[in-house]
Amino acid sequence: MPGSAELFMEKRRMPGKEVLKKKNMTYRDILKKVDHTLLKQPSTWEQIKEICDDAVKFGTASVCIPPSFVKQAAEYLGDRMPVCTVIGFPNGYNTTAVKVFETKEALKEGAKEIDMVINIGWAKMGQYDKILAEINELKKACGDHILKVIIETCLLTEEEKIKMCETVSASDADFIKTSTGFSTAGATKPDVALMKAHMAAGKKIKAAGGIADFNDAKEFVLLGADRLGTSRLVDQAKKKGVDLDAEV
């Protein structure tokens, strides 16, 4: 029995779906979908400043950084690049009130996008109504700013992943996101295919953690990822000096 990714690839071969299979992408096209990320605990301002500079140089979607650096990064970048930060990260078991406070503080300090972690224990207990309410509380705090919901796929069963797709689809959030990158695994192609199959129209998908290279990133995009959370792609573009307008 083929898995989710294989089933999705089969769907791409059906009439009207060939465009997905054959779609050409340049390095620049992929980099535009990247949240250039640095969330490691020992991160310093010099390292954050470097990824800000690289994000601007390579035209990524945003920089995703720890909350403690948001104000400094936002002041440094100005209008050159949106700042994204993480809330309830990486474990997700902060109270909703704490997550709302974190969100409001981050936005006040200049964040333009928020990536929140769900309470995974609630998912395990089937308390999806509580997860939905929490997501909507954070989106209320975000207003017009983008909210992405990290469900930590590596800790969920397939049934729980589908229920989380339904929950995020029913919420006011903008994106569902696979992973924090701080648990047992990151994004997988079957999980992105599952999200594409179960998310409501208009909701977007972010794959994060473990994206190996540009070819890997292209496959995630073809499967349905609208954003990619990674630091590797910019690092590889820097080291290899790639022609950004060349096809991947």
Residue numbers annotated as active site: 115, 177, 206
Instruction: Provide the terminal-to-terminal Cα distance of the chain, rounded to the nearest Å.
Output: 31
Cα(138)–Cα(129) distance, rounded to whole angstroms?
A: 14
Q: Pick from 59, 87, 62: which is nearest to 73 by CA? A: 62
Gap between the Cα atoms of 27 and 72, Å rounded: 29
Of 104, 157, 161, 167, which Cα lies nearest the Cα of 132? 167
Which residue reads 């054959």 in tokens?
A: 22
CB 138 within 8 A of CB 152: no
